[in-house]
Structure 1
Amino acid sequence: ARKSDETAEQGALREAHEEAGVDSSLLRVMFTTVLDRGVWAYTTVVAEAVEEFEPVIGDAESVALAWVPVADVEGLPLHPGFAASWPQLRARLL
């Protein structure tokens, strides 16, 4: 759960550490996007790995974890908020 005093970027880095063992020093935040539906908003934080590393599942929230080529993302069963954001995000990554 997001802590009230942290930014979306800080929360994403914290979650990446808690859920996948990712050291925040291995990431560089590139940009964020917000999908705002009025009643709720979904923020996606996009980061670049500055060094190659192997993430590991760190809690019961995840059932799988993998590096995926950008072209393969839309074929995955994505969180609905991320799926709605994906076309815009993909355009910024290519």
Structure 2
Amino acid sequence: MTNMINPLWKAYNDVMNEGGEGYNPHEQFLGAGKGEPLWSKLLDKIARLQNVANATSDMDPRWKEMMREIEVLKAAQKDAMERNI
């Protein structure tokens, strides 16, 4: 069995680490998952975080952090859809 790279790990690494070594809060590999597809779970996370960001002032420093996290989640969701996981 081959290990599948977690799209959330890959997206975070691509967006935040810019090719260098650094902290990544997500697991690198996915386990044998069953149930709801990962891309569906990521879409739900994106929607929830976007709702919070919509209610947050863009002057709040947390708003920028939320927008960066949304960018990471969207990249991970796109990768998960391409790999059908």
Instruction: Indicate the TM-score class for this superposition, using the shorter chain for normalisation.
Output: 0.3 to 0.5
TM-score by length of 1: 0.31
Q: Which has the larger share of helix?
A: 2
Between Structure 1 and Structure 2, which shows a larger proportion of strand residues?
1
Q: TM-score, normalised by structure 2?
A: 0.33
Higher RCO, Cα 8 Å, sep 6+: 2
